[in-house]
Amino acid sequence: MKSNFLQFSRKRKLEKAITLSVILFLYKLISPYNTTLIPLLINEVIVISTFYFITLYTLEFVGNKKYSPLSLILNAGILNAIIFFVLAVITLGLNAIFEGLTAENFMYSIASTFYAYIFMAALAYIFSVFRTLFFLRQKRNPRFYFNTMIFFFLLTSVSNNFIFLYPDVDYIKSAFLVVTILLIAVNSIRVPWIAFLIKKEKIYLLIISIVLSVLFAVNIGLSSSANASNKVLLMFSPSLYQFLNLLMIYGAIFFGIIFFTTLFHLPTAEAFDRKAQEASSLIDLSKLLTQVFDFKELAGTITEMTTQVCNSDSAWLISGKNGAMSLAAVKNIGYLEADKMFSLISSKENLNSIVSVKTLTLDSFLQPANFHSLAVAPLKVHDKINGYLIAARKSEDVFDDDDQKAIGAFADYAAIAIENAQLLEESIEKERLEKELDVAREIQYKIIPEKTPQIKELEISSVFIPAFEVGGDYYDFFELGNERLGFVIADVSGKGISAAFIMAETKGIFESISRLIDSPKEVLTKANEVLRSSLNRKSFVTAIYGLMDLRSGTVYLSRAGHTPALHIRDNKVEQIRPDGMGLGLDFTENFNCSLQETEIKLKENDILLLFTDGITEAKNSDLEDFGFERFEKIIIEFTGKSIDDLSNSIMKQVTIFSQGNPQHDDITLVIFKWCKKNNIGEF
């Protein structure tokens, strides 16, 4: 936390500190010793301003380094020891340096200024450490208390100038000093960061606080004595000299309170360390769950953390899949021994009845073991047990409530990890299947004609919409010799991949047979024979195969259980439904006997329409079928338009009708329109 008055850039703080240091040095050369009010006040303003910007720069330096509390304290202790060395040891040297020099002497001014700069730098760093420690780990903003203390620091320091000039008013300084010491004591109590140190660090802090509280107390005595070093600092700046005394008092009180506070926290340090380790471990596990997708790695981390946090000698993780339990990870125990222990537990305990962590003592079992006590935690997700986390101890200390809670927490994370691993596996499998379906879809669309044949006497339109990624509907055209066009429409029973495979095989069969056999009835008969080896009892194919003579407009049709063909002439729709059973329903002579072949002679503007039941059986939100009547009505309404308009209108109406209900069957539509004008026969 930084106060608002610290809003300067780091570079500007350093520039101002250097500039003011130069000004102070020059001022000391001009006026080295001040005994009157105005020069003294000017001197103190420059000194305080210089110290202020040095402190600002040091504060940012200390804050940006992110030191640990112990490192900060150790650094402050080193500087305090240096101050002790200066005050206690260099005094004799100072006497020799300043011997024969008066306060007005040029060399005296240079020496005293550099001497004071050393103190300003050291005091600025020590003050920065105290301030950083004060705000460390504070939940509420205590800035008001700290700024109030600094304000009285300043008042006490400045009041020392008046004592220097007017000794009779020393009670003012005494009053400020008492208030400042009280504020120091109050603010020194705010040390919440001690609770967050581990036990080893608290012991270390206990020793350091003893040394530093004594060292600061000794420095209080040294800085208050009338030796040469204190006289130089007092003549340089009474405020800086008083600030040195106050900071030494602050250090003595602060580290004295730290000693007793740390001593108070020491008995609970071990428990706090354990809770901190549990929290840290759970945070690490949370990160791993989002970053690591290898369940083996997660399982190994969980067993390792269980042994560390719960003070167990060994731990192992049992994961379950499809009702079978298997070892996923072990720590400080062999796989065979862990499996043997789990079998032993399973034989003596009903593991399915364990709803939370349960502790067991192996003395109750009839088989000797290396462990004395166990803790078994179920891995539950959605009330389903997917495994167990087991921790074991060789000592006679049983797992207490804290141990059980920690093991239970790790078990919960392990359960989530197993669930995530299974979901990931399913996701990968689903992705693989989707890629396969994409390939199958591409293949199917290559099987379906890319474009309709371009024939002068005939307009052709076709539509194919699978209900799923791939479908079982099929249509094709075969341009045969002697101005003939073969065509087929088929519907494989079932949906999805299996239907698509049969459809692909059906295409190859019709494409081969159509070039060898002319009769539609014989084509269907031969196709039924070939499909015998491919279709099981639950599969069949309905189809219509036709052959069109493009010279006369004569169409020969046979139907194998398919929806009827529609012949539209003069706004009337006629259903063409020659007898015949589906391909694959019978492989005897009965199939051939059931088939009929019919002949249709087309005249100008006649339409022949083939479709699959995905159109008439399309359902709305009330599960009502689209039906043949709606289908026929649309055909009659748009029969005078182009066949592309007719097919688009049919699909539009089917889509509107079935809105709100997903498509459940493949839709295929093939439309022929005879355009030859010389065909004028009446039928």
Q: Is residue 288 a part of any domain in this protein?
A: no
Q: Are strands 565-569 and 572-576 parallel, antiparallel or unpaired?
A: antiparallel
pLDDT at 225 over 80: no
Per 3-state DSSP, the chain is made up of helix, strand and coil in percentages (nearest 5) of 60, 15, 25
Q: Is residue 304 a part of any domain in this protein?
A: yes
For 475-495, write each residue's pLDDT tens digit: 999 988 888 999 999 988 876
Is 319 found in the same domain as 267? no
Q: What pLDDT, on the 0 to 100 scale, is given for residue 560?
A: 93
pLDDT at 226 over 80: no
Q: Which long-range contacts (CB under 8 A, 24 or more apart) does 332-336 make?
A: 332/307, 333/392
Q: What pLDDT, on the 0 to 100 scale, is given for residue 300?
A: 80
Distance CA 233, CA 122 (A): 14
Is 125 found in the same domain as 185? yes
Q: Is residue 484 a part of any domain in this protein?
A: yes
310: CATH: 3.30.450.40
Distance CA 421, CA 413 (A): 12
Is 407 found in the same domain as 488? no
Distance CA 568, CA 230 (A): 120
pLDDT at 639 over 60: yes
Is 111 found in the same domain as 222? yes
Which of 34-43, 112-121, 234-243, 472-481 shows the highest mean pLDDT?
472-481
**Contacts of 594 by beta carbon, 8 Å cutoff, 6+ apart:** 579, 580, 581, 586
Is 566 found in the same domain as 619? yes
* Count: domains in the chain: 3
Q: Is residue 127 a part of any domain in this protein?
A: yes
For residues 417 and 296, the answer to whether their CB atoms sit within 8 Å is no
Q: What pLDDT, on the 0 to 100 scale, is given for residue 227?
A: 67
Is 358 found in the same domain as 234? no
Q: Is residue 77 a part of any domain in this protein?
A: yes
Q: What single string gives the DSSP state of each residue in 638-665?
A: HTTS-HHHHHHHHHHHHHHHTTTS---S
pLDDT at 683 over 50: no
For residues 480 and 515, the answer to whether their CB atoms sit within 8 Å is yes
pLDDT at 623 over 50: yes
Domain final residue, candidates 238, 271, 304: 271
Minimum mean pLDDT range among 372-381, 599-608, 664-673 = 372-381
Domain final residue, candidates 425, 441, 474: 425
C-alpha torsion angle, residues 310, 399, 199, 284 (rounded to 10)? 20
Is 51 found in the same domain as 92? yes
Q: Is residue 306 a part of any domain in this protein?
A: yes
Higher pLDDT, 332 or 283: 332
Q: What pLDDT, on the 0 to 100 scale, is given for residue 166?
A: 64
Q: What pTM did the predictor assign?
A: 0.52
Higher pLDDT, 412 or 547: 547
The pair of three-digit structure tokens given for residue 211, joined into one six-digit string: 């040394």
Q: What pLDDT, on the 0 to 100 scale, is given for residue 679?
A: 45
Q: Are strands 667-674 and 572-576 parallel, antiparallel or unpaired?
A: unpaired
Is 403 found in the same domain as 471? no
pLDDT at 45 over 50: yes
Is 368 found in the same domain as 230? no
Domain final residue, candidates 425, 459, 482: 425
3-state secondary structure of 32: coil
Is 254 found in the same domain as 161? yes
Q: Is residue 440 a part of any domain in this protein?
A: no
3-state secondary structure of 620: coil
Q: What pLDDT, on the 0 to 100 scale, is given for residue 220?
A: 86
Q: What pLDDT, on the 0 to 100 scale, is given for residue 281?
A: 64
Give the pLDDT mean for 263-271.
78
**Contacts of 303 by beta carbon, 8 Å cutoff, 6+ apart:** 315, 316, 317, 329, 330, 331, 389
**Which range of residues forms the domain containing residue 500?**
449-674
pLDDT at 317 over 50: yes
559: CATH: 3.60.40.10
Is 457 found in the same domain as 416? no
Q: What pLDDT, on the 0 to 100 scale, is given for residue 681?
A: 45
Distance CA 298, CA 328 (A): 10
Query: Angle at CA 139, nearest 5°, toward 78 and 262?
Result: 45
For residues 447 and 504, the answer to whether their CB atoms sit within 8 Å is yes
pLDDT at 171 over 80: no
Higher pLDDT, 415 or 98: 415
3-state secondary structure of 621: coil
Assign 12 a pLDDT band (cuts: 50, 70, 90): confident
Distance CA 605, CA 418 (A): 67
529: exposed, middle or buried (Cβ count in 10 Å: 0-12, 13-18, 19+): middle
Give the pLDDT mean for 292-318.
78
**Contacts of 244 by beta carbon, 8 Å cutoff, 6+ apart:** 83, 119, 123, 223, 233
Distance CA 560, CA 543 (A): 5
Q: What is the mean pLDDT of the chain?
A: 81
Minimum mean pLDDT range among 118-127, 186-195, 235-244, 411-420 = 411-420
Q: Is residue 622 a part of any domain in this protein?
A: yes
pLDDT at 237 over 60: yes
Q: What pLDDT, on the 0 to 100 scale, is given for residue 544?
A: 95
Q: What pLDDT, on the 0 to 100 scale, is given for residue 34?
A: 63
pLDDT at 20 over 90: no
Q: What pLDDT, on the 0 to 100 scale, is given for residue 105?
A: 55
Q: What percent of the chain has pLDDT over 90?
A: 20
pLDDT at 366 over 60: no
What is the sign of the dihedral through the CA atoms of 59, 61, 66 and 67? negative
Assign 288 a pLDDT band (cuts: 50, 70, 90): low
Is 187 found in the same domain as 124? yes
Phi, psi of 581 (to 5 degrees): -100, 160
Give the pLDDT mean for 411-423.
76
